[in-house]
């Protein structure tokens, strides 16, 4: 049954959290500098921006380095095993630092903590961790931190709340003055057999479109030039709330605000509608770049993955997109070594990659996650087989990327300048409308501007060009 409105936390709850931020700032024995270490996706990156916003309200400032911080917080990811191991490995590194810096406080939060039993594991195996919490209670960070400092005891709180809730009006310290994330929904209902996200992020819940549009207008007034809409499956936006805008309708309304660039991720192929394609084709500000994770090219494996589309349906959607948006830049995610994957299944993936012709692809070896259906499947693929397959797939995509990027030579692209090269301050870098990094000679005064660049050459993962003045 659909809800009649978005599930927002009561205003009184957010007001109370802000009061705890102020109370923390008044403490004499509190940490004064912090370092936030982020793993995982853009959702995690934006969560870290919220954490930093709260930390600022709590009277803390960013440290020069992790080693010089009074407080270090790890915002973790558990989508793949290597991300989790990397996070825990770095947490252990702080054990030695704490011996010489005993007043150092350490916190662990994010998706990893939301896994069953992880709170107990942290208590048992990592006694130097002072604070741990999950994704559902991030908004309670100030309250938990205050408790940890005042009690001088370890605080672990992980809320098991599949329905979740939506906190609004929390402070945010954005990492860029010209690029901004906007979360439009939380959670996922798809339950792909290999994926742990629905278990650690909860069910799908959409923010109210009025809230999203208000945030976008505020960012426009602040001079933000590009927004990235975030959700585990943005195409499902609004389906959980009676009478809410569809994702296509939301995009159309955002387009009217006039922010120069609108991007979004991630899109599930099963939900790419003709309405959405039409909005992308007719809009003034939506970038012609689409991340459309196919995951695999075999219908048998796609069914086992519970992806709820076939190879044929995916290719039909790609054709429909390219018909309406001929210059679309398509990227994807690919998994090799999924349980039961045969040589023929893998070749199906290779042939699909060649047929679609992606600008680039993120390739992964299947990583079993405890609690998912695929982790208990028979036919787990030996590591050496998976490694051979992914190397072949990477080589195929490398050649395709080279061909795709070569087609851009001679074209004029519009680049949002992000930074100067560390090796040469006269070389600028930024993303074009197709979300590809472009390097070109220029000055630091261009950072934050959108400039015209004629593409002169193509590398393996970037383009090079020269700035021009368009008439």
Give the domain-ending residue among 157, 190, 220.
Answer: 157
DSSP string, 306-350: T----HHHHHHHHHHHHHH-TT-EEEEEEEES-TT--HHHHHHHH
> From CA 269, how far away is CA 292, in angstroms rounded?
6
| % pLDDT > 90, the chain | 82
> From CA 87, how far away is CA 201, in angstroms rounded?
18
Residue 296 lies in a domain: no
Residue 196 lies in a domain: yes
> From CA 460, how far away is CA 359, in angstroms rounded?
11
- Of 350-359, 365-374, 406-415, the one with minimum mean pLDDT is 365-374
* pLDDT above 70: residue 163: no
Which residues on adjacent β-strands are paired with residue 97?
Answer: none
Residue 167 lies in a domain: no
153 with 15, same domain? yes
262 with 377, same domain? no
46 with 149, same domain? yes
Residue 163 lies in a domain: no
Give the domain-ending residue among 104, 128, 157.
Answer: 157
Give the domain-ending residue among 355, 386, 405.
Answer: 405
| CA separation, residue 429 to residues 161, 178, 320, 328, 440 (Å) | 42, 14, 32, 22, 7
Instruction: Give the tens place of pLDDT for each residue, 275-293.
Output: 999 999 999 999 999 999 9
Greatest Cα pair distance, the chain, in angstroms, is 66
| CA separation, residue 7 to residues 135, 140, 248 (Å) | 16, 17, 21
3-state DSSP call for residue 7? coil
Cβ proximity of 230 and 265 under 8 Å: yes
CB atoms within 10 A of CB 234: 22
Rounded to an integer, the average pLDDT of 339-366 is: 98
* CATH, residue 453: 2.40.50
For 391, how many CA atoms within 13 A lie in the half-sphere containing its CB? Answer: 6
Q: Is 300 exposed, middle or buried (0-12, 13-18, 19+ CB in 10 A)?
A: middle
Instruction: Give the tens place of pLDDT for each residue, 295-314.
Output: 999 999 999 999 999 999 99
pLDDT given for residue 155 in this prediction: 94
Q: Where do we find the tokens 């959290």? A: 17
Cβ proximity of 247 and 201 under 8 Å: no
Instruction: Give the tens place of pLDDT for each residue, 27-39.
Output: 999 999 999 999 9
Contacts (Cβ under 8 Å, ≥6 apart) of 12: none
* φ, ψ for residue 233, nearest 5 deg: -145, 90
**Tell me, what DSSP letter sits at residue 239?**
T
Total domains in the chain come to: 4
Instruction: Give the tens place of pLDDT for each residue, 115-152.
Output: 888 888 888 888 889 999 998 899 999 999 999 999 98
pLDDT given for residue 376 in this prediction: 93
> From CA 298, how far away is CA 94, in angstroms rounded?
44
Cβ proximity of 244 and 226 under 8 Å: no
Instruction: Give the tens place of pLDDT for each residue, 223-256.
Output: 999 999 999 999 999 999 999 999 999 999 999 9
113 with 188, same domain? no
129 with 153, same domain? yes
* CATH, residue 101: 3.40.50.12160
- List the one residue out of 317, 287, 314 whose CA is nearest residue 298: 314
* pLDDT above 90: residue 105: yes
pLDDT band at 440; cut points 50, 70, 90: very high
Q: Where are the alpha helices (DSSP H) in 187-327?
A: 197-201, 209-221, 247-257, 274-282, 299-304, 311-324
CB atoms within 10 A of CB 366: 22
33 with 128, same domain? yes
pLDDT given for residue 161 in this prediction: 67
Burial 254-279 (b: 16+ CB within 10 A, else e): bbeeebbbbbbbbbbbebbeeebbeb
- Of 56-60, 160-164, 349-353, 429-433, the one with minimum mean pLDDT is 160-164
Q: Where are the alpha helices (DSSP H) in 245-287?
A: 247-257, 274-282
Locate 271 and state its tokens.
């939900």
397 with 418, same domain? no
Rounded to an integer, the average pLDDT of 161-189 is: 91
pLDDT given for residue 1 in this prediction: 65
* φ, ψ for residue 258, nearest 5 deg: 100, 10
> From CA 435, how far away is CA 53, in angstroms rounded?
27
20 with 152, same domain? yes
* CATH, residue 278: 3.30.750.210
Residue 171 lies in a domain: no
Locate 94 and state its tokens.
């702080």
- List the one residue out of 284, 172, 176, 286 whose CA is nearest residue 223: 176
pLDDT band at 329; cut points 50, 70, 90: very high
- List the one residue out of 376, 379, 371, 359 whose CA is nearest residue 431: 359
* pLDDT above 90: residue 211: yes
Rounded to an integer, the average pLDDT of 441-453 is: 96
- Residue span of the structural domain in which 231 resides: 176-287
* pLDDT above 90: residue 96: no
pLDDT given for residue 392 in this prediction: 98
Residue 234 lies in a domain: yes
20 with 139, same domain? yes
Reply yes or no: is the peptide bond before residue 304 cis, omega within 30 of 0: no
397 with 430, same domain? no
> From CA 294, how far away is CA 361, in angstroms rounded?
10
229 with 107, same domain? no
328 with 453, same domain? no
> From CA 207, how far away is CA 212, in angstroms rounded?
7
């Amino acid at each position: 049954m659909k809800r009649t409105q978005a599930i927002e936390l009561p205003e009184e709850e957010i007001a109370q959290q802000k009061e705890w931020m102020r109370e923390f700032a008044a403490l004499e024995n509190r940490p004064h500098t912090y370092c936030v270490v982020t793993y995982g996706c853009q959702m995690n990156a934006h969560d870290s921006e919220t954490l930093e916003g709260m930390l600022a309200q709590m009277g803390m400032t960013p440290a020069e380095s992790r080693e010089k911080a009074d407080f270090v917080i790890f915002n973790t990811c558990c989508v793949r095993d290597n991300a989790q191991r990397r996070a825990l490995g770095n947490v252990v590194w702080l054990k030695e630092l704490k011996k010489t810096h005993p007043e150092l406080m350490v916190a662990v939060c994010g998706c990893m903590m939301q896994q069953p039993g992880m709170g107990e594991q942290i208590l048992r195996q990592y006694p130097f961790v002072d604070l741990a919490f999950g994704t559902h209670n991030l908004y309670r960070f100030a309250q938990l931190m205050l408790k940890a400092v005042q009690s001088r005891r370890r605080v672990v709180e992980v809320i098991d709340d599949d329905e979740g809730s939506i906190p609004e009006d929390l402070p945010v310290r954005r990492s860029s003055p010209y690029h901004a994330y906007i979360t439009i929904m939380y959670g996922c209902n798809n339950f792909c057999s290999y994926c742990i996200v629905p278990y650690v992020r909860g069910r799908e819940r959409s923010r109210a479109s009025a809230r999203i549009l208000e945030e976008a207008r505020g960012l426009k007034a602040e001079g933000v030039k590009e927004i990235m809409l975030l959700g585990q499956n943005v195409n499902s936006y609004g389906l959980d709330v009676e009478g809410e805008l569809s994702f296509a309708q939301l995009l159309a309304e955002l387009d009217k605000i006039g922010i120069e660039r609108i991007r979004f991720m991630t899109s599930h192929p099963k939900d790419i509608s003709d309405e959405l394609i039409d909005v992308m084709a007719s809009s003034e500000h939506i970038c012609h770049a689409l991340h459309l994770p196919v995951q695999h090219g075999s219908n048998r494996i796609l069914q086992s993955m519970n992806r709820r589309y076939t190879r044929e349906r995916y290719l039909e959607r790609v054709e429909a997109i390219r018909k309406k948006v001929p210059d679309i830049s398509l990227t994807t995610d690919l998994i090799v070594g999924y349980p039961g994957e045969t040589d023929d299944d893998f070749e199906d993936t290779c042939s699909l990659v060649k047929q679609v012709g992606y600008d680039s692809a993120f390739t992964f070896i299947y990583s079993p996650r405890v609690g998912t259906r695929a982790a208990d499947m028979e036919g787990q693929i030996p590591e050496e087989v998976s490694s051979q397959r992914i190397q072949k797939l990477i080589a195929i995509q490398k050649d395709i990327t080279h061909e795709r990027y070569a087609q851009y030579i001679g074209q004029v692209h519009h680049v949002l300048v992000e930074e100067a090269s560390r090796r040469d301050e006269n070389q600028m870098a930024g993303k074009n409308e197709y979300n590809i990094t472009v390097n070109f000679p220029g000055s630091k005064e261009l950072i934050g501007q959108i400039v015209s660049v004629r593409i002169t050459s193509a590398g393996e993962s970037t383009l090079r060009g020269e700035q021009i003045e368009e008439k």
